[in-house]
């Protein structure tokens, strides 16, 4: 990757070229990355890949007409071509009365230096291969494991630089380490598979390789001899790995773009209770070492921690500048961006934990479903209707009794959110995190 100053110099040059070509306003982004990844299967290395990349994107505006052009060549001649093409396209683009750069008053002028997003160490191929082998060996050593889909280990480093024609210029970097494995248990048509992985900004925050392998194997073996179940209406408990998906549906439903189009089941819910009292959902782009932390958004707007849901009430939409203008509101600093146009997107989204342990949440369930895996994407964002395949364990008399698969769970997200009860076991592992949650009154379709 280039030096920080060089990255901003490239963007400054591109903006100057855009203005010279006739742009009235513009912003430009430069994405730089380097990565190294390996995969092993049955103790043998299968893949080793090193990559480095650089992509630049330019958005120009002429009045209310805008266009975007991107490329991977940052040589002066290539930048001049990008600028000229973007301006030529903008002249023929249809007018969009909501198009424009972010409000200058909202641009980040200072940002925290304690996000701790960079681990300066860079692993070599030998180290990653060894970590992948340790992970897979630990999984294969567990009784009942019969085959492996392989283990992988990776490292990456990236830099995001953004500059605008109205005075913003900023850059930040991050690193990522990841380790995972997928294995199989059983034979023939009775085989089951499962996986485990971990990722972190710093190498020292990764779980132990052997522990990851053992957890993957234990999850897989527990799934053997799965049954179906008769159709019924019972409480459903989501383990944390899948509970975050419920927040993902929430994020989509409160996106400013969906609200502006009128295509969300929550479009009339701002300020209204959508969860039970006491429920908190928070988006925190400034969490140190967070997988989606960033000091400014894709338009240069300052980011901040926000309570998306407070005491069960929906407090805000998730907006970039364009969707905010459509709604007559102010951006929330949630512009997400590659080299194209900005769009609303959450960062480190999570549900605050409750007071009951997962065991307490299950203890009074005579019959119910504990979900460990979801299948399919049967969610209607307009109506909130929810129907997805699921597998996991049947609950009997407050305990996990036996594995189940081939089930479909159904409901409506509005009703599900209001019935949701969070447990106390929140951990920060993904970009979207939730503790174990319980939802009563779900329909289970089985045999």
Name the percent of the chain lying above pLDDT 90. Answer: 95
| Per-residue b or e along 175-209, where b marks 16 or more CB atoms closer than 10 Å to that residue's CB | bbbbbbbbbbbbeeeeebbbbbbbbbbbbeebbeb
- Give the end of a domain, one of 106, 135, 152: 106
Please tell me the predicted confidence (pLDDT) of residue 242. 96
The runs of H, that is alpha helices, within 378-426 are 413-419
pLDDT digits (tens, 9 = 90+) for 394-426: 999 999 999 999 999 999 999 999 999 999 999
The CATH number that applies at residue 95 is 3.30.2290.10
H helix or E strand, kind and range, residue 291 = none
Three-class secondary structure of residue 143 per DSSP: coil
- Give the end of a domain, one of 87, 106, 125: 106
Please tell me the predicted confidence (pLDDT) of residue 376. 83
Domain co-membership, 232 together with 381: yes
Print the domain residue range for 12.
4-34+50-106
User: Residue 387 corresponds to which tokens in the numbers above?
Assistant: 């129907």
pLDDT at 276 over 90: yes
Give the residue from 433, 384, 392 showing the smallest Cα distance to 413.
384
Please tell me the predicted confidence (pLDDT) of residue 304. 96
Let me know if residue 161 belongs to a domain. no
Residue 294 has a CB neighbour count (10 Å cut-off) of 21
pLDDT digits (tens, 9 = 90+) for 4-37: 569 999 999 999 999 999 999 999 999 999 999 9
Report d(CA 27, CA 243) in Å as an integer: 37
| Per-residue b or e along 151-164, where b marks 16 or more CB atoms closer than 10 Å to that residue's CB | bbbbbebbbbbbbb
Half-sphere exposure of 261 (CA within 13 A, CB side): 12
Q: What is the CA radius of gyration of the chain?
A: 24
**Helices then strands, each counted (H, E), the chain:** 9, 19
Please tell me the predicted confidence (pLDDT) of residue 257. 96
Are 202 and 175 in contact by the 8 Å Cβ rule? The answer is: yes
pLDDT at 3 over 70: no
Helix, strand, coil percentages for the chain (3-state, nearest 5): 25, 40, 35
DSSP labels for 309-366?
EETTEE---B--HHHHHHHTS---S-EE-SSS--EE--SSEEEPP-SB-HHHHHTT-S
pLDDT at 133 over 80: yes
pLDDT at 124 over 70: yes
Let me know if residue 202 belongs to a domain. no
Please tell me the predicted confidence (pLDDT) of residue 1. 57
Report d(CA 139, CA 156) in Å as an integer: 25
Residue 289 has a CB neighbour count (10 Å cut-off) of 17
pLDDT digits (tens, 9 = 90+) for 57-109: 999 999 999 999 999 999 999 999 999 999 999 999 999 999 999 999 999 99
Q: Is 174 exposed, middle or buried (0-12, 13-18, 19+ CB in 10 A)?
A: buried
- Give the end of a domain, one of 89, 106, 123: 106
pLDDT digits (tens, 9 = 90+) for 237-271: 999 999 999 999 999 999 999 999 999 999 999 99
pLDDT digits (tens, 9 = 90+) for 354-375: 999 999 999 999 999 999 999 9
Let me know if residue 193 belongs to a domain. no
Three-class secondary structure of residue 268 per DSSP: coil
Let me know if residue 390 belongs to a domain. yes
Please tell me the predicted confidence (pLDDT) of residue 111. 87
Q: Which residues contact 135 (CB under 8 A, 6 or more apart)?
A: 151, 153, 179, 180, 181, 209, 210, 212, 213, 216
Number of domains in the chain: 2
Calculate the alpha carbon distances from 138 to 64, 145, 184 in Å.
59, 11, 13
pLDDT at 447 over 80: no
pLDDT at 446 over 90: no
Three-class secondary structure of residue 64 per DSSP: coil
CA 168 to chain CA centroid, nearest Å: 26
Domain co-membership, 246 together with 395: yes
Give the residue from 82, 25, 37, 21 showing the smallest Cα distance to 55.
82
Confidence of residue 2 (pLDDT cuts 50, 70, 90): low
Please tell me the predicted confidence (pLDDT) of residue 341. 96
For the chain, what is the mean pLDDT? Answer: 96
Let me know if residue 134 belongs to a domain. no
Let me know if residue 158 belongs to a domain. no
Let me know if residue 263 belongs to a domain. yes
pLDDT digits (tens, 9 = 90+) for 291-309: 999 999 999 999 999 999 9
Three-class secondary structure of residue 141 per DSSP: coil
Please tell me the predicted confidence (pLDDT) of residue 113. 84
Domain co-membership, 230 together with 91: no
Residue 81 has a CB neighbour count (10 Å cut-off) of 15
Please tell me the predicted confidence (pLDDT) of residue 114. 87
Calculate the alpha carbon distances from 103 to 16, 325, 439 in Å.
20, 11, 42
| 125-140 and 209-222 helices, crossing angle to 10° | 30
Let me know if residue 137 belongs to a domain. no
């Amino acid at each position: 990757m280039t030096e920080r100053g060089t990255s901003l110099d490239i963007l400054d040059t591109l903006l100057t070229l855009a203005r010279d070509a006739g742009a009235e306003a513009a912003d430009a982004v430069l994405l730089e990355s380097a990565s190294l990844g390996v995969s092993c299967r049955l103790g043998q290395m299968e893949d080793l890949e090193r990559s480095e990349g650089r992509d630049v994107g330019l958005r120009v505006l002429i009045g209310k007409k805008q266009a975007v052009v991107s490329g991977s060549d940052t040589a002066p001649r290539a930048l001049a071509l990008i600028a000229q093409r973007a301006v030529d396209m903008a002249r023929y683009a249809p007018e969009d009365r909501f198009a424009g750069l972010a409000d200058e008053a909202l641009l980040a002028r200072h940002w925290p230096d304690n996000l701790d997003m960079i681990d300066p160490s860079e692993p070599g191929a030998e180290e990653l291969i060894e970590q992948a082998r340790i992970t897979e060996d630990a999984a294969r050593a567990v009784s009942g494991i019969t085959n492996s889909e392989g283990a992988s280990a990776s490292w990456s480093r990236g830099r995001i630089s953004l500059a605008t024609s109205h005075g913003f210029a900023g850059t930040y970097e991050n690193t990522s380490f990841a380790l995972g494995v997928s294995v199989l248990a059983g034979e023939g048509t009775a085989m089951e598979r499962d996986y485990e992985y971990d990722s972190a900004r710093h190498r020292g925050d990764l779980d132990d390789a052997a522990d990851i392998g053992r957890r993957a194997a234990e999850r897989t073996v527990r799934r053997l001899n799965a049954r179906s179940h008769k159709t019924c209406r019972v409480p459903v408990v989501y383990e944390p790995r899948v509970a975050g998906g419920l927040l993902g549906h929430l994020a989509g439903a409160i996106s400013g773009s969906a609200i502006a189009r009128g295509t969300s089941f929550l479009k009339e819910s701002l300020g209204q209770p959508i969860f039970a009292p006491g429920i908190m959902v928070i988006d925190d782009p400034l969490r140190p070492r967070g997988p989606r932390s960033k000091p400014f958004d894709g338009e240069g707007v300052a980011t901040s921690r926000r309570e998306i849901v407070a005491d069960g009430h929906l407090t805000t939409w998730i907006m970039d500048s364009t969707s905010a203008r459509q709604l007559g509101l102010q951006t929330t600093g949630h512009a997400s961006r590659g080299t194209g146009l900005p769009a609303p997107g959450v960062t480190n989204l999570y549900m605050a934990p409750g007071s009951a342990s997962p065991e307490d949440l299950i203890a009074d369930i005579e019959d119910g479903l504990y979900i460990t895996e979801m299948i399919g994407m049967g969610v209607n964002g307009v109506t909130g209707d929810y129907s997805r395949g699921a597998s996991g364990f049947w609950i009997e008399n407050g305990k996990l009794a036996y594995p189940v698969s081939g089930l479909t769970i159904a409901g409506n997200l509005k009703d599900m959110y209001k019935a949701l009860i969070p447990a106390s076991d929140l951990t920060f592992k993904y970009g979207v995190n939730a503790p174990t949650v319980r939802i009563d009154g779900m329909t289970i379709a089985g045999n």
